[in-house]
Amino acid sequence: MTIIVTGGAGFIGSNFVYYELENHPEDRIVCLDALTYAGNLATLEEAMKNENFRFVKGDIADRDCVNKLFEEEKPDIIVNFAAESHVDRSIENPEIFLRTNILGTQVLMDACRKYGIKRYHQVSTDEVYGDLPLDRPDLFFTEDTPIHTSSPYSASKAAADLIVLAYHRTYKLPVSITRCSNNYGPYHFPEKLIPLMISRALADQSLPVYGKGENVRDWLYVEDHCSAIDLVIRQGREGEVYNIGGHNERTNLEVVKTILRELDKPEELISYVTDRPGHDMRYAIDPTKIHGELGWLPQTKFDDGIKKTIKWYLDNEDWWQNILAGDYQSYYEKMYKDR
């Protein structure tokens, strides 16, 4: 089979490329990625050595580029990771989120209709469900929880999900969607909470915690996300949505303090800064459906995964130092100067 992985030079997409090359050496993996600020070809250096892997630089919203790739590769499966993914950036500048996340998805789906495929898979997020209150630990997101988005990012992801489902209903396109909770692990871009805090703590810099740090996220080790998507694209039912998460809820403050403890750094580095506008309080996934239908269960508990992740950042300092040396420094100044 030939699988096109869009956004494969980003965090989760690259982990998925490696997961597929290792677990399905019989398949050809073609990565389509525009290499935005979040895409890093260095991440795919090892994959480039594999003859079953091809990298193509291109934009999912560019119809000619996408059609040409479909004509060349005749893919069986498309897994769409390509997206603008950072909530804070969507608050600063929503437009690119609508273009890539919504129109890009539509261009891919049109190509699927035109050329025919076995499966189009949309990598979505639990953020489409909005948030849960902190005082109701009994509540979880199920696949039937209404869409109720908060940020331009999550609204764009929800719009894409609805388009995917519409193409299934109207054109009978074989689609599936997964909605996953917060990932962490290797190759996570250092603007997101966990890698940001690791890299700043290592440099003895202040750690900017939004509000009181009470917000809760349901953390999933990235490899567990990859194994779930792999199951859904091969065995999941067409037209279905599957939630992915593993009951690893932590407040942001707990996460930051864990990182400080592991790195033997003082809690005085924590700096409480102005909250994110519209900040979602709590995400928590009920993974009953994917467990019951496909037998999926996460393998990595947060306490182990965070240790592995910190070790990865210590062992791969060049990877993230190169990123920090680039445009990212001016991004940090811009986003945090008035906080």
Binding site for ligand DAU (CB under 6 A): 85-87, 125-127, 181-182, 192-193, 196, 208-210, 215, 217, 252, 276, 283
> Which C-beta is closer to ligand NAD: that of 167 or that of 219?
219
To ligand DAU, the closest distance from the beta carbon of 46 in angstroms equals: 24
Tell me if residue 10 falls in helix, strand or coil: coil
* Adjacent-strand bridge partners of 123: 178
- The continuous run of DSSP H or E covering 273 comes out as strand 270-273
Q: How many helices (H) and strands (E) does the chain have?
A: 13, 13
83 DSSP β-pair partners: none
| Interface pick for ligand NAD out of 4, 5, 47, 60 (rule CB under 6 A) | 60
User: Which does residue 209 bind out of ligand NAD, ligand DAU, none, counting CB within 5 to 8 angstroms by kind?
Assistant: ligand DAU
Task: Name the binder of 11 from ligand DAU, ligand NAD, none, CB < 5-8 A by kind.
Answer: ligand NAD
- Three-state DSSP state, 228: helix
Question: Out of ligand NAD, ligand DAU, none, which partner does residue 35 contact, by CB within 5 to 8 A per kind?
Answer: ligand NAD
Please state, in angstroms and rounded to a whole number, the distance separating the CA atoms of residues 73 and 294.
29
Q: According to the binding rule CB under 6 A, does residue 216 interact with ligand NAD?
A: no
Residue 204 Cβ vs ligand NAD, minimum distance, rounded to whole Å: 26
DSSP state letters, 95-106:
HHHIIIIIIIHH
Footprint (CB under 6 A) of ligand NAD, residues 86-105: 100, 104
In angstroms, what is the minimal distance from the CB of 79 to ligand NAD? 10
H or E element, residue 120: strand 119-125
Measured distance CA(58)–CA(104) in Å, rounded: 11
Closest distance between ligand DAU and the C-beta of residue 171, in Å? Answer: 27
Residue 77 binds which of ligand DAU, ligand NAD, none (CB < 5-8 A, kind-dependent): none
Tokens of 143: 């696949």
- Both tokens of 22, joined, read 């290792």
Place of tokens 């965090």: 11
By CB under 6 A, tell whether 227 contacts ligand NAD.
no
Q: Which is nearer to ligand NAD, 61 or 109 (CB)?
A: 61
Report how far residue 311's alpha carbon sits from residue 64's, in angstroms, rounded to the nearest whole number. Answer: 42
Burial of 205 (0-12, 13-18, 19+ CB in 10 A): middle
Using an 8 Å Cβ cutoff, are 236 and 176 in contact?
A: yes
Tokens 């076995």 found at? 118
Active-site residue identified among 127, 191, 249, 280: 127
Q: Are 266 and 220 in contact (CB under 8 A)?
A: no
- Length of the chain in residues, anyone? 339
Is residue 127 flagged as an active site residue? yes
Catalytic pick among 18, 129, 153, 242: 153
Site for ligand NAD in 137-166 (CB under 6 A): 157
Q: Which stretch binds ligand NAD (CB under 6 A): 29-37, 112-120, 204-212, 296-304?
A: 29-37
- Spatial separation of the C-alpha atoms in residues 235 and 97, rounded to whole Å: 30
Is 37 catalytic? The answer is: no
Please confirm, yes or no, whether 59 is among the known catalytic residues.
no
Establish if 61 lies at the interface with ligand NAD (CB under 6 A): yes
- Give whichever of 190 and 236 is closer to ligand DAU, judged by the CB atom: 190
What residue type is assigned to position 191 of the chain? Answer: E
Which residue is catalytic, options 126, 191, 224, 230?
A: 126
| Among 4, 5, 6, 120, contact with ligand NAD (rule: CB under 6 A) | 6
The two beta strands, 270-273 and 220-221, are: unpaired
Task: Count the site residues for ligand NAD by CB under 6 A.
Answer: 30
115 vs 336, beta carbon nearer ligand DAU: 336
Q: Note the residues at the interface with ligand NAD (CB under 6 A).
A: 6-7, 9-13, 33-36, 38-39, 59-61, 81-85, 100, 104, 123, 125, 157, 180, 182-183, 189
Question: Which amino acids are annotated catalytic?
Answer: 126-127, 153
